[in-house]
Structure 1
């Protein structure tokens, strides 16, 4: 398992990719697999055999390509000296050189495969298994040689609330137009329900959007929380009447939806990206086609069963479910290493997508 050299696993704070990777590693080990984790730093909190390529985490160099290039070069030299059945790569740079390895490589694409990333992935050798984290992501990356789709899993020891709460609505994301904090304010005002805006504003673009767009429309009905810690976020999720996700982009997944539902908090969201794959409309949340529908959906969310929300996460998005699906991919690539078929772009989401995350037949 190769992870970027910027953060440790599991992350001490918020880290979507790191959170998923840590859950996957531990679930694979629990299922009897021997996992070697290649990362940075001096420790791991996972059950894997940990091999560090550099003693210091490279978090202060996030966004620079050279730390990841050096990390991957060292990993590949170490792989040459060991015997592995399969490599699972979560880095951006690694897939380009993966075909040169003597063992098959599976790559999870964690970001939206459009623009430059999509162009880059089109150049990846067909012997590399590209795995999508949602069908929505596959639609954005139409034409890429996807090998399979596996939804992320959530490892969270939280107790779901027994009954719905009358707390404020919660918006929890980074401050950006794509995440729709302005739409959240408008919807909650129309519904007459207070809102907590808990967001990340550490990057210049995030701070600029917060200052120029969000702050001018704040009022006494909106509580602003900047860069809340991990434990604070869990508390907010548990106390909220619903999580509001008025996104304006094709979000590949959205771990915060799983976190909310695990707490028993339903999700109210616009029908973009992976939302309809993660949220069961009318059961674990409300999926709206238009922002004008959000106020009524917020009101209706109060009627949804918290225990059903939590059960949905436990049964469909557990680390064990995620690990079992990756095991199938590992075995297929280890024994056959087939050339995946080019995706036609006409990706249909199954009625119960959590039951059909792998192709019916082996690609090739």
Structure 2
């Protein structure tokens, strides 16, 4: 079986810091190679893979802003589609644009829908309902207008994480600095619970950071910038809890699974996929307000950290994800 894995070209695959779609595309490609599948990863030229790499640009447009994003995307997608006949199946991790080629090629395209940036993109997916094969990353993140082949949870390489039995005394916010992710709410939770908070992540909304985050930074509330892979597991593992007070229906939530793999419970607003990722009162707490989150901080001693690790490893491992996708490939190809 020859598989083409299409990653985005915003960031390197796998990413140096931020880039969840690129990370999952990498995990899929590397997992398939380990199973003996012939894989070509279509990504940026500085990407790394144990399979074959095919690239039309040296770096991603988010890392080299002199490049035009749309031009890069068009060149990138067309590069794969013009070689479609060389593959048995194409695994699209690049949203809806590649679907516009799918009626022009014979190679089946399976698309992991990593969330909907807007309801306005639904018509493109809907147009290819009968031809495409759609996979959701959580049961909550599905459009009633689309037909789905399956739900496959995002999978992480469990070797990149380790269990931390004895945490340090701080709460952690790990993610984009953006209103949707609830950075300001995390600060509020920390202040009301009188706990130290570390904030790690890229600043995606500069005004929000200047108005809702920066004025509250202190010895208690610290912003430490974005964290790479090595820093990530230490930050996650040493935290008494990850705060995830999201203000939108998040499709998955990589940091939630990552934290639990390290044994760290998660206190999250009960939105989107959170009830699928977190076992309430067992691997964290699902709450509906800042005050409920503060109450949950006081209950963290009730959580057994090894339960968090075991749950995440059983549900969100890269091995499980790749096995689930391979079954879908075989189903599509009728083999």
User: What is the TM-score when the length of structure 2 is the normalising length?
Assistant: 0.90
Which residue of 2 is the match for residue 66 of structure 1?
71
Give the CA deviation at 1:75. Answer: 1.3
Give the CA deviation at 1:125. Answer: 4.8
Which residue of 2 is the match for residue 304 of structure 1?
303
Aligned partners of 1:291 and 1:119: how far apart in 2?
A: 37
Deviations 1:290-341 (A, max 9, x none): 33210111121233122221111221111111011111221222239xxxxx
Aligned partners of 1:117 and 1:301: how far apart in 2?
A: 40
Give the CA deviation at 1:137. Answer: 0.9
Contact 2:8 2:21 in 1 (8 A): no
Which residue of 2 is the match for residue 360 of structure 1?
none
Contact 2:157 2:319 in 1 (8 A): no
**Judging changes above 3 Å, is the alpha-carbon distance between structure 1 residues 32 and 7 closer, same or farther for their aligned structure 2 residues?**
same
Aligned partners of 1:173 and 1:200: how far apart in 2?
A: 7
Which residue of 2 is the match for residue 347 of structure 1?
none
Aligned partners of 2:84 and 2:124: how far apart in 1?
A: 24
Deviations 1:138-172 (A, max 9, x none): 1xx22122222110001142220124x24211011
Match of 1:87 among 86, 90, 115: 90
Give the CA deviation at 1:116. Answer: 2.2
Which residue of 1 is the match for residue 149 of structure 2?
147
Q: Which runs of 5+ in 1 are unaligned?
A: 337-364
Give the CA deviation at 1:112. Answer: 2.5
**Judging changes above 3 Å, is the alpha-carbon distance between structure 1 residues 312 and 136 closer, same or farther for their aligned structure 2 residues?**
same
Structure scoring higher RCO (CA < 8 A, sep ≥ 6) equals 1
Which residue of 1 is the match for residue 215 of structure 2?
216
Which residue of 2 is the match for residue 345 of structure 1?
none
**Judging changes above 3 Å, is the alpha-carbon distance between structure 1 residues 269 and 56 closer, same or farther for their aligned structure 2 residues?**
closer
Deviations 1:89-125 (A, max 9, x none): 1113212212221111101111325422234322335
Which residue of 1 is the match for residue 6 of structure 2?
2
Which runs of structure 2 are paired with 1:34-183 in the superposition (5 Å)? 34-41=38-45, 44-59=47-62, 60=64, 64-80=69-85, 82=86, 84-92=87-95, 93-112=97-116, 114-138=118-142, 141-157=143-159, 158-163=161-166, 165-183=167-185
Q: Which runs of 5+ in 2 are unaligned?
A: none
**Root-mean-square deviation (Å):** 2.1
Contact 1:241 1:302 in 2 (8 A): no
